[in-house]
Amino acid sequence: MSGQINAFEMAQKQFDGVAKLLKLDPGVAEILRWPMREYSFRIPVRLEDGSIKVFQGFRVQHNDARGPNKGGIRFHPAETMDTVRALATWMTWKCAVADIPLGGGKGGIIVDPSTLTVNEKEELCRGWVRAMWKNIGPRNDVPAPDVGTTPQMMGWMMDEYSRLVGQYTPGVFTGKPLGGGGSLGRTEATGFGVIYTVREAMKHLNMDSKKTVAAIEGFGNVAQYAAIGFIDMLGGRVACVSCWDRHEKKSFTYSRKDGVDPRFLMTIVDEYGTIDKKKAQDSGYTIEDGEAWITKEAEVLIPAAIEGHVNADTIKVMSRNVKIVAEGANGPCTPEADEHFKKNKIFNIPDFLCNAGGVTTSYFEQVQNDMNFYWPKDEVLQKLDQKMTSAFHAVLDRSEREKVYMRDAAYMVAIDRVVQAMDMRGWLTGSV
């Protein structure tokens, strides 16, 4: 991949294009293309060897016109403020396009969590909360797990916030463990949500899902359940998955002639998404370079790793069979990739629609926390299916009505809803 992708520049470029299509007032556009609030702070942690290490932390709150900010916390060695800005911005559009009453936020720490002990990770999580607790809360900003973070970490963070405010407050973080305020169905939600939108796209394109093959980038939570859902719900075959190998510091693609078995691979993957290469090879898997996933003969591509991996370089080796690109990751496809999709009539399901299942079920978790009453998994997933299907068709209808690309249509739906909320609250007519 040539060059470094700046995710926030990409997010702003996407927004600017749609703002022109909508003939958005320049002042309103300026409000929406930048986050409302940004926090940058340092977190000192005493490591188990007795030394003190200081970590850089972030939180960005993009827009809360429709409700409290919502968005994950990433622990990643290459985290930047611009990445967090982009993800917070996309979260605003994601919540709006899913039509849930939340705004966009995102957080992070520059760290490789696999280098820390359990106690060090807990102290880092609690330190992040101590830096931010006055600016988060169930009616203000509700973080969740993301890259490099887990339900257990959300449990620690929720506990630290509860200590600081003096009362049990489960609704301040979502993605928590079951029994600690978490929701059934949250683990599967993002990956299954991807598949609900793929199912609807296949109906629209008159494709027989049982005759289709998917190639998936990534093997974290989203990719795992997208693979399971593609096989179990759609009856298709998964040609490959890829994953980052934290030992060799590079990614690999895992494929098998008769299709991968995601449930088996989940038994040989560690908590950071690294597959045991030897056990995979012993079970008949072929292991190739990490970018080989995009070259596989498949009708459906599901990039579910990190931003910018479907770009001007990688589209050159993409299979000509591809009919659908379902963006399980945030910002996986660059503007150059979008132009390729348009030219070749490849149906794109944009990220903030496609992967909205996680935040939608996080919203369900908040609702259950407020009620102190928890739903069975089937009910959670049924509600999720209804929400995702409704969101998909709202975007598809806009795309066909306005004769615009699906990403542009998703932005149109989301921006209209956010601007309407801002206007209803008087943000655009009174003092700003």
- In the sheet that holds 69-76, the strands lie side by side as 37-46, 52-63, 103-110, 69-76, 141-145
For helices 7-21 and 406-424, the axis angle rounded to 10 degrees is 80
In the block, residue with structure tokens 């050159």: 316
Residue type, 82: D
Question: Among positive and negative, which fits the CA dihedral 133, 138, 139, 143?
Answer: positive
As a whole number of Å, the CA-based R_g of the chain is 21
Q: Residue 312: how many CB atoms within 10 A of its CB? A: 15
| Coil, strand or helix at 429 | coil
SS3 per-residue string spanning 279-305: HHHHCCCEEEEHHHHHHCCCCEEEECC
Residue 204 contacts residue 406 (beta carbons within 8 Å): no
**CA distance between the termini of the chain:** 42
Residue among 251, 246, 190, 199 at smallest CA distance from 223: 190
Active centre residues (catalytic): 106
DSSP string, 36-71: SEEEEEEEEEE-TTS-EEEEEEEEEEEE-SSSSEEE
Residue 395 contacts residue 351 (beta carbons within 8 Å): no
Residue type, 211: K
Residue 53 contacts residue 73 (beta carbons within 8 Å): no
Residue among 156, 175, 4 at smallest CA distance from 78: 4
Residue 171 contacts residue 209 (beta carbons within 8 Å): no
Structure tokens at 378: 């089937």
Rounded CA separation 396/418 (Å) = 19
Rounded CA separation 182/162 (Å) = 15
* Parallel, antiparallel or unpaired: strands 52-63 and 69-76: unpaired
| Coil, strand or helix at 324 | strand
Residue 416 contacts residue 99 (beta carbons within 8 Å): no
